[in-house]
A and B are shown apart, each in its own frame.
Chain A
Amino acid sequence: MAKIKVNNLNLWYGSFQALKGVYANFAEKKITAIIGPSGCGKSTMLRVFNRMNDLIEGVRTSGEIIIDNLNVLGEETDLVALRKKVGIVFQRPNPFPLSVYENIVFGIRVHEQPRKKAELNGIVEESLKSVLLWDELKDKLKMPALHLSLEQKQRLCIARLIAVKPDVVLMDEPCSTLDPQATARIEELMRELRKNYTIIIVTHNMQQAARVSDDTGFMLLGELVEFGATHEIFTAPKDKRTEDYITGRYG
């Protein structure tokens, strides 16, 4: 079932068109990878799903993105509700300069859902367990998050997101600063998270897309060239440009 429908999406940074007439359907509770060379618009594509692009001055969009009947690009869209529903994990882990505990309850605090202390503790435990950090950090919840290792930080950022119970998790090259072992463990975590969340991941790393994703989209110069099941894209691409890219002729 399609969780996210993208119809004729265009996006401009000032006069530069970064996305050109994109159509795609993203399946629910699957991992969809967006691949393509640098500057092809894949990060832009990802960030438009929860309107992170709004932070940049001079961004215009046209077309529509529908997530569960909600038009993301509408003028009156409630951005706070949207970002609660559609969370994002960034390329560089960016925990806040607060304690591990405060990082995880941050989302709950900003959404002003009054919770009892015990409930908050429960959420912290549950979130840390779901990113397999609980055993490492259960005695160090007061520790500043900035003292964690890079991988732990990235896991914490995922846990912080899970704590607000999103539907969709966007990941913008989440492993690009990690070593291969850490990358493998984060990928394992993604497969685990797929049971409950719709995941869209942007990656530079084609092997990663092939390893973890169910569907793959290939982007080039702002166009979504090809979109389909991952095994088909990687074994029998229909477009010549896709074939050239995945066989390493450029990129």
Chain B
Amino acid sequence: MRKLKEFIIEKLILVCGLASIFFVVLIFLFLLKEGLSVFKSISLPDFLFGKNWYPISDPPQLGILPLILGSLLVTVGAAAISIPLGVGAAIYIAEIAPAKSKEVLKAGIELLAAIPSVVLGFIGMVTLVPWVKNIFHLPTGLTALSGSIMLAFMATPTIVSIAEDALYSVPKTYKEGAFALGATHWQTIYRVLLPAASSGILAAVMLGIGRVIGETMAVMMITGNSAIIPNSILQPVRTLTATIAAEMGEAVVGSEHYFALFAIGIVLFVISFAVNVTADLFLHKRK
């Protein structure tokens, strides 16, 4: 009787494990099947490097270069803000903050991670967007810069908590050794602790960026959504994610536009997969 129970439970757990893989494979296959259909009417280079995204003109123009550049610009901007901020905060929490404020800070960072992106987008819309508009004297504050700043808020908690973890797990003997040779606290941090934790910090950065690339709601609300090739961070842009979210509802099922949106999904999937694998490589190197 007991054996039978063990057997059933074991198999149930096995089914749960297999199901998760099964669904991932199904989703991926569906994405491929729908997405690849677009290449019956447009070549891969024309799709990736085409400069015009007019999906409902006749014939439709399905170049996603403006969208890729939009995503890239917002991501690079967010990275430029969140990496120094996040790594700096991680160093402060791991090394400098007194034990008491450390706990408060860590809790605060986790709370920041818990803010839903639509709320961040909303806050950005009513506070940041008018601010950007007035400071730079722009016709609109809905720009790549606004998106970068809001997304930096989303990437920072990930970067801080993983980088802090990496710094904290550097053996204490390194620190002792550096102090014993007469290094100051800051010299110890940048000459010993940062290099020792470098792979963990890189992983933190990659995971933070991964979060930014996949983010949809906040960017859709504050980047302006115009599918043109941006030549400055102060212009409206449209990202890959926002395009799918905004247009999927109105695309006719089975049309080229519909297939193109799925193909954008594949592009996004490939990018996030690459970022996550890179992060994973760094994390494993650490161990």
Contact = CB atoms under 8 A, between A and B. Distances in A.
Is chain B found bound to chain A in the same assembly?
Answer: yes
Contact of A83 (B175, B182, B191, B192): B182
A90 B187 CA distance: 20
B114 interface: no
B174 interface: yes
A90 B176 contact: yes
Between B177, B178, B181, the greatest number of chain A beta carbons within 10 A of the residue's beta carbon is seen for: B181
A90 B175 CA distance: 12
A111 B173 contact: no
B268 interface: no
Interface in A76-95: 79-84, 87-88, 90, 92, 94-95
Interface stretch (A122-130, A157-165, A188-196, A200-208): A157-165
A211 interface: no
B179 interface: yes
A94 B179 CA distance: 12
B173 A94 contact: yes
A48 to B, nearest CB: 13
B113 interface: no
A97 B174 contact: yes
Given A96-B196, A97-B195, A97-B196, A106 B176 contact: no
Contacts of A118: none
Nearest to B196: A97
Contacts of A157: 177
A1 interface: no
Between A81, A97, A160, A164, the greatest number of chain B beta carbons within 10 A of the residue's beta carbon is seen for: A97
A98 interface: yes
Given A110-B187, A110-B191, A94 B177 contact: yes
Contact of B181 (A55, A83, A97, A98): A83
B217 interface: no
Contacts, number: 65
A82 B181 CA distance: 10
Give the size range of A's interface with the partner: 20 to 34
Nearest to A51: B179
B116 interface: no
Contacts of A84: 181-182
B197 to A, nearest CB: 10
A107 interface: yes
A50 B180 contact: yes
A95 B171 CA distance: 11
Interface string B182-215: 1110010001100110000000000000000000
A50 B182 CA distance: 10
Contact of A161 (B176, B181, B187, B192): B181
Given A90-B173, A97-B195, A80 B180 contact: no
A238 interface: no
Given A97-B195, A97-B196, A52 B176 contact: yes
A7 to B, nearest CB: 24
A160 B195 contact: no
Contacts of B191: 96, 106, 109-110
B182 A110 contact: yes
A98 B180 CA distance: 17
Nearest to B181: A107
A246 B180 CA distance: 32
B176 A98 contact: no
Interface in A97-131: 97-98, 106-107, 109-111
B181 A110 contact: yes
User: What are the 6 tightest A-B residue pairs by CB atom distance, in nearest-first order?
Assistant: A94-B173, A83-B182, A110-B183, A84-B182, A107-B181, A94-B177
Given A96-B191, A110-B181, 18 more contacts: A52-B176, A55-B176, A55-B179, A80-B183, A81-B182, A83-B180, A88-B180, A90-B173, A94-B174, A96-B177, A96-B195, A97-B174, A97-B195, A97-B196, A98-B195, A107-B182, A110-B183, A111-B182
Interface of A: 50, 52, 55, 79-84, 87-88, 90, 92, 94-98, 106-107, 109-111, 157, 160-161, 164
23 contacts: A80-B183, A80-B184, A83-B182, A84-B181, A87-B180, A87-B181, A90-B177, A92-B173, A94-B173, A94-B174, A96-B191, A96-B195, A96-B196, A97-B192, A97-B196, A106-B178, A106-B183, A106-B191, A109-B191, A110-B181, A110-B182, A157-B177, A164-B181
